[in-house]
């Protein structure tokens, strides 16, 4: 699994999907640039989300608010005082950890120990192996299970009580059972604010400390009445937004999973007070269907309902995806009550209420939020798509099996040889199709190599122009996944490709 992850990271770099930022200056921690294919893939994911939100829901509209916002907003939202991560240092290794993430790693290690035991037994007993029975009776598995449950319960309680000393104790205890750092000499746990700050305005006029937004949601809340009034929106309605967010993450790792500059796709859905929990359930269903529609398989996703709720939430769940490094949060769905609007009312002194014509009264709407990280979605799609296959001639091919509508390039057109008028014919075909979907011309290297290159960037179809094309107007169409080739008329290319790649 670790190996596959490394391969995905280097594939991303080698094929123009993701580069480390400022690479010629040795990179910048946890910041990445998207290359020519990466940015196409990212745009396609954005479109898939945006259209699902705004076209499929007549009562959801989109906005694009500024990254800079009035600093009071972050006071009101609670980010200035409470957007903290618990930090701990190991005095011997001089390594810094996020205490909660470190404890999750210990838990994963204990789980791994149990699984190893099960795998070993599976190998020994083969088909007759009853896994459920083994898990519930084997003493080594049971011992680890008990350990896991103990640590898990202590962890949940410590988070709930915001007990930093207990977090430290859990780390010390876990380090004895399943070492990660190798030493036991820890500092106390400290809170660290994740917001980036900068100065706005010239010094002669004075300047103001402003923050780079750590989430896009607040831009929606402060525009709630602008959109409601100008769009004549009736509750229930939603506002969607895609944009950059910034967090000074302490433990930046796992490639684009945890970055310091990233993109979010968020939607705030405003509902009548008292109706929020049924809307919460509805959005859970809608959002998981959106993920499942990509076709990667149900077993790749799970909900993780929060036991510990933020003070403003009355229900919360994460949609987790089975990344090469385990199930991880890709999207959060939260029932945020009327917390945000009420706080903005308090801090701005402006009313944030809605007049409901059916009920004939004013109220502060409750909010269901769906918040998904675009970069994490990108990583989940790459992980699902990345496939290594043995071909019939014994070679390994790497193919990105993207859902066709998300593929950066939809069709490659290639002349079999670089002469006899074949390149001109291929160019002519592209000229006809390039405004319908993204096409690429390729004439360099053998046809086999060109197919491999297109497989590696996930192009669903390749068309090859040969001498027969000049005689009868037919080409070969090769399918990325089956590698099957069939002869079709040039005039048929458009409809075949279009049917597969257009959402
Ligand atoms: P985590 O617990 O992993 O730090 P979070 O619970 O703080 O995430 P939210 O504040 O709920 O995340 O943000 C919503 C979404 O934004 C997350 O589900 C995730 O997909 C994305 N996201 C959050 N932080 C990052 C980051 N540093 N890099 C990339 N994506 C992120």
- Model pLDDT, residue 181: 77
- Model pLDDT, residue 93: 87
CB-ligand 1 contact for 98 (6 Å cutoff): no
Please state, for a pLDDT cut of 70, what percent of the chain lies above it.
99
Query: Treating both helix axes as pointing N-terminal to C-terminal, what angle do 2-14 and 374-385 enclose, rounded to 10 degrees?
Result: 110
Is 261 annotated to bind a ligand? Reply is: yes
Q: Whose CA is nearest to atom 20 of ligand 1?
A: 373
Residue to substitute in 86, 244, 376 for testing ligand 1 pocket (most ligand atoms within 8 angstroms of CB): 376
Ligand 1 mean position, distance from CA 168 (Å): 24
Distance CA 344, CA 364 (A): 11
CB-ligand 1 contact for 85 (6 Å cutoff): no
Choices 3.90.1150.10, 3.20.80.10, 3.40.50.800, 3.40.50.720: CATH for 409-501: 3.40.50.800
Distance CA 234, CA 219 (A): 20
Q: Are 117 and 136 in contact (CB under 8 A)?
A: no
Q: How far is CA 121 from the centre of its chain?
A: 35
Distance CA 384, CA 408 (A): 16
Q: Whose CA is nearest to atom 11 of ligand 1?
A: 332
Ligand 1 mean position, distance from CA 263 (Å): 10
Ligand 1 mean position, distance from CA 404 (Å): 27
Q: Calculate the average pLDDT of the chain.
A: 95
- Model pLDDT, residue 284: 98
- Model pLDDT, residue 183: 78
Distance CA 480, CA 456 (A): 10
- Model pLDDT, residue 295: 97
Instruction: Give the model's confidence band at 312: pLDDT under 50 very low, under 70 low, under 90 confident, else very high.
Output: confident
Per-residue pLDDT reduced to its tens digit, 463-489: 999 999 999 999 999 999 999 999 999
Per-residue pLDDT reduced to its tens digit, 77-118: 999 998 999 999 999 988 889 999 899 999 999 999 999 999
**Average confidence (pLDDT) over 184-209:** 87
Say yes or no to pLDDT of 203 above 90.
Answer: no
CA 157 to each of CA 161, 163, 190, 469: distance values in angstroms, whole numbers, following the listed order = 6, 8, 18, 71
Q: Whose CA is nearest to atom 19 of ligand 1?
A: 373
At residue 150, the 3 state secondary structure works out as helix
Q: How far is CA 84 from the centre of its chain?
A: 22
Per-residue pLDDT reduced to its tens digit, 230-278: 999 999 999 999 999 999 998 777 999 999 999 999 999 999 999 999 9
Q: Are 126 and 119 in contact (CB under 8 A)?
A: no
Q: Are 257 and 204 in contact (CB under 8 A)?
A: no
Distance CA 71, CA 92 (A): 39
**85-188 has CATH 3.30.40 classification:** yes
**Average confidence (pLDDT) over 129-143:** 92
**Average confidence (pLDDT) over 433-462:** 97
State both tokens at 468: 């027969």
CA 53 to each of CA 50, 199, 216, 350, 413: distance values in angstroms, whole numbers, following the listed order = 5, 35, 16, 29, 34
- Model pLDDT, residue 17: 98
Ligand 1 mean position, distance from CA 330 (Å): 7
Distance CA 60, CA 52 (A): 10
- Model pLDDT, residue 62: 98
State both tokens at 434: 């390039």
Is 28 annotated to bind a ligand? Reply is: no
Please state, for a pLDDT cut of 90, what percent of the chain lies above it.
87
**Highest-scoring range by mean pLDDT, 136-150, 285-299, 385-399:** 285-299
Ligand 1 mean position, distance from CA 287 (Å): 16
- Model pLDDT, residue 1: 64
Q: Whose CA is nearest to atom 25 of ligand 1?
A: 258
Any alpha helices (H) in 138-214, and if so which ranges?
Answer: 139-161, 164-177
CB-ligand 1 contact for 249 (6 Å cutoff): yes
CB-ligand 1 contact for 216 (6 Å cutoff): no
Number of Cβ within a 10 Å radius of residue 118: 16
Ligand 1 mean position, distance from CA 316 (Å): 14
Distance CA 401, CA 457 (A): 9
Q: Whose CA is nearest to atom 24 of ligand 1?
A: 258
CB-ligand 1 contact for 329 (6 Å cutoff): yes
State both tokens at 230: 């100008």
Is 218 annotated to bind a ligand? Reply is: no
Residues 6 or more apart whose CB falls under 8 angstroms from that of 452 comprise 397, 398
State the residue for tokens 């709630």: 224
Domain assignments of the chain as residue spans, ordered by start: 2-83+194-382, 85-188, 409-501
Nearest to 118 by CA among 138, 104, 101: 138
Ligand 1 mean position, distance from CA 252 (Å): 12
Any alpha helices (H) in 97-138, and if so which ranges?
Answer: 99-125, 131-137
Burial 347-359 (b: 16+ CB within 10 A, else e): eeeeebbbeeeee
CB-ligand 1 contact for 320 (6 Å cutoff): no
CB-ligand 1 contact for 330 (6 Å cutoff): yes
Higher pLDDT, 46 or 159: 46
Is 89 annotated to bind a ligand? Reply is: no
**Average confidence (pLDDT) over 15-41:** 97
**Average confidence (pLDDT) over 144-152:** 94
CB-ligand 1 contact for 373 (6 Å cutoff): yes
CB-ligand 1 contact for 175 (6 Å cutoff): no
Ligand 1 mean position, distance from CA 29 (Å): 17
Distance CA 150, CA 177 (A): 13
Ligand 1 mean position, distance from CA 262 (Å): 9
Ligand 1 mean position, distance from CA 373 (Å): 6
Is 215 annotated to bind a ligand? Reply is: yes
CB-ligand 1 contact for 291 (6 Å cutoff): no
Distance CA 214, CA 262 (A): 9
CB-ligand 1 contact for 371 (6 Å cutoff): yes
Is 329 annotated to bind a ligand? Reply is: yes
Instruction: Give the model's confidence band at 54: pLDDT under 50 very low, under 70 low, under 90 confident, else very high.
Output: very high
Is 375 annotated to bind a ligand? Reply is: yes
Ligand 1 mean position, distance from CA 427 (Å): 44
Instruction: Give the model's confidence band at 184: pLDDT under 50 very low, under 70 low, under 90 confident, else very high.
Output: confident
Is 331 annotated to bind a ligand? Reply is: no
Ligand 1 atom with the smallest distance to the CA of 376 is 20
**Which CATH number is 2-83+194-382 given?**
3.30.930.10
């Amino acid at each position: 699994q670790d190996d596959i992850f490394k391969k995905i990271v280097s594939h991303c770099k080698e094929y123009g999907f993701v580069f480390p930022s400022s690479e010629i200056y040795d990179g910048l921690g946890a910041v990445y640039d998207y290359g020519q294919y990466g940015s196409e893939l990212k745009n396609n994911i954005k479109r898939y989300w945006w259209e699902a939100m705004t076209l499929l829901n007549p009562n959801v509209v989109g906005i694009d608010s500024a990254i800079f916002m009035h600093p009071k907003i972050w006071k009101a939202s609670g980010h200035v005082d409470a957007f903290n991560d618990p930090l701990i240092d190991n005095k011997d290794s001089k390594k810094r950890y996020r205490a909660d993430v470190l404890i999750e790693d210990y838990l994963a290690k204990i789980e791994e120990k149990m699984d190893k035991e099960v795998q070993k037994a599976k190998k020994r007993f083969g088909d007759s192996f009853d896994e459920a029975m083994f898990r519930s009776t084997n003493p080594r598995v049971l011992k680890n299970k008990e350990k896991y449950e103990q640590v898990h319960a202590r962890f949940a309680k410590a988070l709930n009580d915001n007990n930093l000393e207990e977090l430290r104790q859990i780390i010390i205890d876990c380090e004895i059972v399943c070492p990660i750092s190798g030493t036991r000499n820890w500092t106390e746990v400290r809170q660290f604010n994740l917001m980036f700050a900068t100065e706005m305005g010239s010094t002669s006029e004075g300047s103001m400390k402003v923050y780079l937004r750590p989430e896009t949601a607040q831009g929606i809340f402060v525009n709630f009445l602008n959109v409601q009034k100008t769009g004549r929106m009736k509750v229930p309605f939603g506002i969607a937004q895609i944009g950059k967010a910034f967090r000074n993450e302490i433990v930046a790792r796992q490639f684009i999973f945890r970055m310091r500059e990233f993109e979010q796709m968020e939607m705030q859905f405003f509902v009548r007070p008292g109706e929020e929990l049924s809307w919460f359930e509805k959005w859970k269903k809608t959002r998981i269907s959106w993920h499942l529609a990509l076709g990667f398989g149900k077993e790749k996703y799970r909900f993780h309902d929060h036991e510990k709720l933020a003070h403003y939430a009355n229900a919360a769940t994460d949609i987790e995806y089975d990344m090469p490094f385990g199930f991880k949060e890709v999207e959060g769905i939260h029932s945020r009550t009327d917390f945000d609007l009420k706080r903005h009312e308090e801090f701005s002194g402006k009313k944030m209420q809605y007049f409901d014509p059916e009920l004939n009264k004013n109220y502060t709407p409750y909010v269901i939020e769906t918040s998904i990280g675009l970069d994490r979605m990108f990583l989940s799609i790459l992980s699902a798509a990345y496939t290594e296959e043995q071909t019939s001639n014994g070679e390994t091919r790497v193919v990105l099996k993207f859902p066709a509508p998300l593929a950066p390039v939809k069709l490659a057109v290639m002349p079999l040889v670089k002469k006899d008028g074949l390149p001109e014919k291929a160019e002519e075909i592209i000229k006809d199709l390039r405004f319908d979907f993204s096409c690429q011309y390729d004439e360099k290297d053998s046809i086999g190599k060109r197919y491999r290159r297109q497989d590696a960037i996930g192009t669903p179809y390749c068309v090859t122009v040969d001498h027969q094309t000049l005689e009868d107007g037919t080409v070969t169409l090769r399918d990325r996944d089956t590698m099957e080739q069939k002869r079709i008329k040039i005039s048929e290319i458009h409809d075949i490709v279009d049917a597969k790649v257009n959402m």
